[in-house]
Amino acid sequence: MTTHDAASQDDPPDQVGSGPPPAAESRPHPPLASPEGSLDLAHALEHDLVDACQGRLRDIHWFTSDWQRGGSATAHARWSDRGTPRHAIVKLPVGPTELEWSRRLGGGDLPERPVPRTFASGDTLQGYDLGWLVLERIDGVSVAADPAPKHVEALLAAVARFQARAGEQCPPAHPPKPPDWEAMIEDAREVAHGGRIPEPQRWNEALKAFQKLVPDLRRRWLVRPINAWCHGDVHPGNGLMLDDGTCRLIDLGNVHAGHWTEDAVMLERLFWGHDDRLNGLEPVACLGEARRAHGLENGPRSNTIANIRRALTAACVPARISRDSGLQYVHYSLGILEQLTMKLSS
């Protein structure tokens, strides 16, 4: 078993894969078909988890909730470090990306930590190839509970700290394969043809015009500068406000190499149709300014790269209508698409 204990030492955490290989009998964890299945597994492995933490983990109370995805279980617990009990969160199982970046950014004495501290972690339990984390429990309220502009700004400041600290760990490289935008836009046209969204004819005309640009926009996206480790899931529910007005990011399972604007556009689109709630705050500009405060270079053509991502996102909205917000969001996305089609084609 590879176990990392970040609370009892000041050295930075080992990178995933840098420690000894898993034991020969290590096996994949069983499939988790339901939240109940994840809880059953967590209860079954609880004794091994306590042993892996050398008895410093106690008072474990497992739960699931509606916002959890991926078949994992979470627990409130107490962590005893040098005799001082501290509130903790246990996550089991976690994927390799979340495990790696929780270790990288949550261990040691990293300055201006953008994420909760990692008390302990491992990649096997009871012979299962299974990642787990014991994290500091932040006594804060999520930005989603009060998405006031100052809290959104604090969330973006946390993203800038995240990108700065992550870049110090290793240079970003090898971004993920982009979505199949052509297929999604074709699906969007079918939705418009079927009249399943308001303004179907206007949508159809906008999508038809935009489709002509997609091959070139895909090419331009593929050659964009890869200049940041992006959090990859920036939304108000993944930011926790502290009493001092700063914010911590949680849920690191989607961290990936990319262009720094991707995190800001992801957050921005959640306010499409409700941008008045931001009171003039522009997420891309705000994140760019926060990055500069950390000495990060934003690079040329950032606004164009952000516009390409906005346009591709807007064009796919009808294909994702069951998951995206209501009619006001759909209408606003159409306006974004029409505006940026003209701008990007010139």
* Cα 300 from Cα 26, distance rounded (Å): 47
Q: What is the pTM of this model?
A: 0.88
Residue type at 15 in one-letter notation: Q
Q: How confident is the model at residue 16 (pLDDT cuts 50, 70, 90)?
A: very low
Q: How confident is the model at residue 63 (pLDDT cuts 50, 70, 90)?
A: confident
Q: What are the pLDDT digits (tens) for 155-192? A: 999 999 999 999 999 999 999 999 999 999 999 999 99
On the question of pLDDT at 22 being above 60, the answer is no
Q: What are the pLDDT digits (tens) for 247-284? A: 999 999 999 999 999 999 999 999 999 999 999 999 99
* Residue 225 structure tokens: 């500068």
Least confident interval from 90-94, 110-114, 186-190, 201-205: 110-114
Cβ-based neighbours of 124, under 8 Å, separated by 6 or more:
1, 2, 22, 23, 26, 130
* Cα 303 from Cα 10, distance rounded (Å): 40
Give the orientation angle of helix 302-315 with respect to helix 200-211, to 10 degrees. Answer: 130
Residue type at 160 in one-letter notation: A
Query: Strands 84-94, 57-63: parallel, antiparallel or unpaired by DSSP?
Result: unpaired
pLDDT at residue 84, rounded to an integer? 84
* Cα 285 from Cα 268, distance rounded (Å): 11
* Backbone dihedral angles phi then psi of residue 279, each to the nearest 5 degrees: 50, 45
Residues 306 and 174 sit within 8 Å (Cβ to Cβ): no
